[in-house]
A and B are shown apart, each in its own frame.
Chain A
Amino acid sequence: MRHIMAKSLAPTDGVRDYLAAQEKKSLLRFLTCGSVDDGKSTLIGRLLSDTKQIFEDQLAALERDSRKHGTTGDDIDFALLVDGLEAEREQGITIDVAYRFFATPKRKFIVADTPGHEQYTRNMATGASTADLAIVLIDARQGVLPQTRRHSIIASLLGIRHIVLAVNKIDLVGFDQAVFERITEAYGQFSRDLGFQTIVPIPMSARYGDNVTSRSDSMAWYSGPTLIEHLETVSVEEAVVELPFRFPVQYVNRPNLDFRGFAGTIASGSVAQGDEVVVAKSGKSSRVKRIVSYGGDLARAAAGQAITLVLDDEVEISRGNMLVSPAARPQVADQFAANIVWFDEHALLPGRSYILRTETDQTSATVTDLKYRINVNDFAHEAAKSLDMNEVGICNISTRTPIAFDTFAENRTTGAFILIDRISNATVGAGMILHSLRRAENIHWQSLDVGKRVRADMKNQRPAVFWFTGLSGSGKSTIANLFEKKLFATGRHTYILDGDNVRHGLNRDLGFTDADRVENIRRVAEVARLMADAGLIVIVSFISPFSAERRMARELMADGEFIEVFVDTPFEECARRDPKGLYARALNGEIKNFTGVDSPYEAPEKPEIHLKTLGKSAEQMVDALEHWLNERDIAEDQYDNGGGI
């Protein structure tokens, strides 16, 4: 069988020349954004059609679809070319970002067509995060709308510095110059503080093609460029090569004992064989021995290249660390301030634990302080206790382990992160780091000789945190009190943290909103951890309705020390018992945010101990708890005695 290799072929000059010219072209990535029905998809359809990117079979399909779903009468509805999902075509709206590709003799383009509806803002952000320029569309009849402002602010936050203000549907206002100028002026006023380097307003009709790829005959008053002229020539080059060297280590390549390479993509700057580099988190330094690539070692490599570095010394580096320039190092901290764009329908809650991911690093993070929310209409800084979907705010963030980073203003790659929900694994937010908080560098854990083990041994017990969760009135406090009495009687050292009692003291400043419930739990979990560290057996009796917070509490404790006890009493039974008369009032609407009534309770999926209370006495429940504790201690003693070295 014959396998044709390219090198065996005789070159065809025309094609070779063409390809050589292609190679020299630069690439521009841009997005179209703006409000619903401002004509984003139509504009892209127009660009693709006018630059001859639509094939005959696609055109035939488009004509078919236009008759079926189109909104442009007998004309071709170009929006249907990009709205590729069934639901989009049926509803006539754009739900998710579509990527399209076209080229002119001067440039190659990747365009992200993003949705205008507010509920799909996260998909707009997805398209914006990899773009260098944004075309903000405005319907000439509507002017600047709230979504125009929201998208402009998000584009600005995500680091876009070049804007085309496309004043579209100008044909529907009689090609009126005054309308164009009024909109341009209004947008200029609004966007003054958004840090855009260029804003180029262009009056156009995407549907008929005026000023898109060809100059309009109907607007003699406009002397600026057509859209395509501007896109072909605008300079968006960022000098990332000039920035300090940053190499986030993505993958440690170790095929055998003789080779240990650090693979990744250079985020900024450049590196040469023999250069000194520093490991960001440890401060250890080494030299670049080889820059390995498939085609042979390189002498030098720069921003954007995916390479593998081999160092002179056996320094400890794993994924998530960064190799950097010794002269200009990134910050390494566990507390910093950041802009957050929130994507999820469950609000961001300060105190809740999320997973924070940078390009290669991952750790737990909580928002310690939501400083304010930005009103997208007037930039007002508004006090807020949570961030709802599509809102933007400024937060202080605390991570469990320090991360290496630059500010987003300095470096779009090493200054960005995403937040992930611990349970659903959804991407719930995007963050742009503003600055580190100095506090992080000042806190050092004291290494004390008297440790947890010593303290616990003196009490002749193993520390534990029994975390009772369940509805109000399920019997948590009753069981907890009885359990403590029994433990005390057998000589154990214990303490009960009770929801109601703590709310009278430590947490007296907290209410019952979701945000306050999360903070309530966070504080109690921290106190419980300190008590366990002191060697105590802690009994926490809290409704603690959200599994995310219970998981956070679990992760604070040492392995095996957190014992989730689900006090499982059906809602009807709790409401019937109603020891404090709360259910009656909540069901009457007198108490808001009452768990089980108008605030959810997320039952534990795998509690260590599951107490089904119906038809059982508190004593029986406590017997079950004691039994569990004895089993654990016996198991651990055996391990300690038999498995010790």
Chain B
Amino acid sequence: MTIALTHLQRLEAESIHIFREVAAAFTKPVMLYSVGKDSSVLMHLAMKAFYPAKPPFPFLHVDTTWKFREMIAFRDQMAQKLGFDLLVHVNEDGVRDNINPFDHGSNTHTHVMKTVALRQALDKYGFDAAFGGARRDEEKSRAKERIFSFRNAQHVWDPKNQRPEMWKIFNTRIASGESIRVFPLSNWTELDIWQYILQENIPIVPLYFAKERPVVERDGMLILRDDERMKLRPGETVENRLVRFRTLGCYPLTGAIESDADTLEAIVGEMLTARTSERQGRLIDRDEAGSMEKKKREGYF
């Protein structure tokens, strides 16, 4: 008898294995939930891994207060529907100082509202392991990261000194205060993600589908004006254009693409002929040389 697993079945089994390993070996894990498509897949896999039980850990959303409104609505609806424990953390220091992407730039904004906020939340609850949805095909420094990625007590990643990671035998041992970031989707590609969403009927934020939306052209990117906090510069106008998003972050930092793909099949079809990578729409990857690695070393996911 032979049961040959398909490519997606192999990826799914690997991810489930990783989820269970963390649940068995750590005292206080958490899943970082960023509301994007990768988070949707991650959440689906977590539900599968522990069925018939619910995932034995809470989901944490680090809210920069600049996420698309549709993302927040989707987040709350999923939490209610699946019944998981949702924690939302906002860096109140950043809110008090009115840190925002327009006045402070993407770099400072991301550092304060995302990286520092994440560290605050991890320290506040004392989580010793945190799942993230990062994939190795996304970015060069991510291609180098282990599935179980060690962080010292200051949440720092040392890319030059990573633990060897042999077979599926994961070293889950840490000293007090240290933690591990865990990436169950490490070996998935963007195409695998979409294919799996299609196969499993996984709900995703509607922003991924093309629709007429009010956008402003700025610095070569199409920015959706999600609320009044985005002030128009001289000469800028808001136009309704048929756009969608390949990736979702803070709305002022995430470029839309012109597209009429309003079904999953059309999205996959568009991706197969795409000539730019998905992170091209992310301002934060480009704001300084080697910037993703630098952010990751500071504690960004």
Is A358 an interface position by the 8 A CB rule? Answer: yes
Docked-complex contact A430 and B166, CB < 8 angstroms: yes
Interface string of B151-178 (1 = CB under 8 A from A): 0000000011011111111010111000
Q: Is the CB of A11 within 8 A of B203?
A: no
Tell me whether B16 and A6 are in contact (CB under 8 A).
no
Partner of A355, one of B5, B47, B51, B173: B173
Binds A, one of B117-125, B233-241, B267-275: B267-275
- Distance A11 CA – B142 CA, assembled complex (angstroms): 34
Which residues of A have CB within 8 Å of B163? 426-427
Residue of B17, B77, B171, B264 touching A250 (CB-CB under 8 A): B17
Q: Which of B8, B166, B200 contacts A418 (CB 8 A)?
A: B166
B107 an interface residue at 8 Å Cβ cutoff? no
Q: Does A40 contact B (CB under 8 A)?
A: no
State whether A55 and B269 are in contact (beta carbons under 8 Å apart), knowing that A241-B2, A292-B52 are contacts in the complex.
no
Q: A81-89, A134-142, A462-470: which one contacts chain B? A: A81-89
Max chain B C-beta neighbours (<10 A), residue from A122, A319, A413, A418 = A418
Cβ–Cβ contact A9 & B263, under 8 A: yes
B230 on the A face (CB < 8 A) = no
* Least CB distance, B243 to chain A, in whole angstroms: 16
Residue of A nearest to B81 (CB): A3
Are B23 and A358 in contact, with the CB atoms below 8 A? no
Is B49 touching A23 in the complex (CB atoms < 8 A)?
no
Q: How far is the CA of A535 from the CA of B177 in the complex (A)?
A: 39
If A23-B7, A125-B164 touch, whether A98 touches B144 (CB-CB below 8 Å) is yes
Q: Which residues of B contact A110 (CB under 8 A)?
A: 187
- A12 close to B263 (CB less than 8 A): yes
Provide the bound-state CA to CA distance between A420 and B9, in Å.
Answer: 31
* Contact (A99, B143) CB under 8 Å given A15-B268, A427-B164: yes
- Please tell me if B189 contacts chain A, counting CB pairs below 8 Å: yes
Which parts of A255-283 form the interface with B (CB within 8 Å)? 255, 259, 261, 263-265, 270
Surface stretch bound by B, among A302-310, A449-457, A593-601: A302-310
Is B73's beta carbon under 8 Å from chain A? Answer: yes
Name the B residues within 8 Å of A208 (CB-CB): none
- The B194-215 residues at the A interface (CB cut-off 8 A) are 195, 197-198, 200-204, 206, 209
State whether B166 touches A306 (Cβ < 8 A).
no
Q: Which of B23, B49, B171, B290 has the most CB of A within 10 A?
A: B171
CB of A306 within 8 A of CB of B13, answer yes
- Chain A residue at minimal CB-CB distance from B12: A306
Question: Given contacts A55-B276, A270-B1, is CB(A420)–CB(B141) below 8 Å?
Answer: no
In the complex, are the beta carbons of A263 and B20 less than 8 A apart?
yes
Determine whether the beta carbon of A420 is less than 8 Å from that of B171.
yes
Closest residue of chain B to A97, judged by CB?
B144
- Least CB distance, B278 to chain A, in whole angstroms: 9
State whether the Cβ of B104 lies closer than 8 Å to any Cβ in chain A: no
Residues from chain B with a CB closer than 8 A to the CB of A426 are 163
Q: Of the candidates B12, B23, B265, B277, which one forms a contact with A11 in the assembled complex, judged by CB atoms under 8 Å apart?
A: B265
Binary contact track A2-29/B, C-beta < 8 Å → 1, others 0:
1111110111101110110011111100
Chain A: residues with CB nearer than 8 A to chain B?
1-7, 9-12, 14-16, 18-19, 22-27, 55-58, 81-87, 89, 95-101, 108, 110, 122-123, 125-126, 129-130, 241, 250-251, 253-255, 259, 261, 263-265, 270, 292-294, 300-302, 304-306, 308, 319, 343, 355, 357-360, 412-413, 416-418, 420, 425-427, 430
27 A-B residue pairings within 8 Å (CB atoms): A1-B70, A1-B206, A12-B265, A12-B269, A16-B265, A18-B269, A26-B4, A56-B276, A84-B141, A85-B293, A87-B159, A101-B187, A125-B166, A126-B166, A251-B24, A253-B52, A253-B53, A259-B52, A263-B50, A293-B48, A302-B3, A306-B12, A306-B17, A306-B20, A359-B169, A418-B164, A427-B164
Interface residues in chain B, defined as those with a beta carbon under 8 Å from any beta carbon in chain A: 1-10, 12-14, 16-17, 20-21, 23-24, 47-54, 70, 73-74, 77, 136-137, 139-144, 146, 159-160, 162-169, 171, 173-175, 186-187, 189, 191, 195, 197-198, 200-204, 206, 209, 263-266, 268-269, 272, 274-277, 280, 290, 293-294
**CB-CB nearest 3 A-B residue pairs:** A84-B140, A255-B53, A12-B265
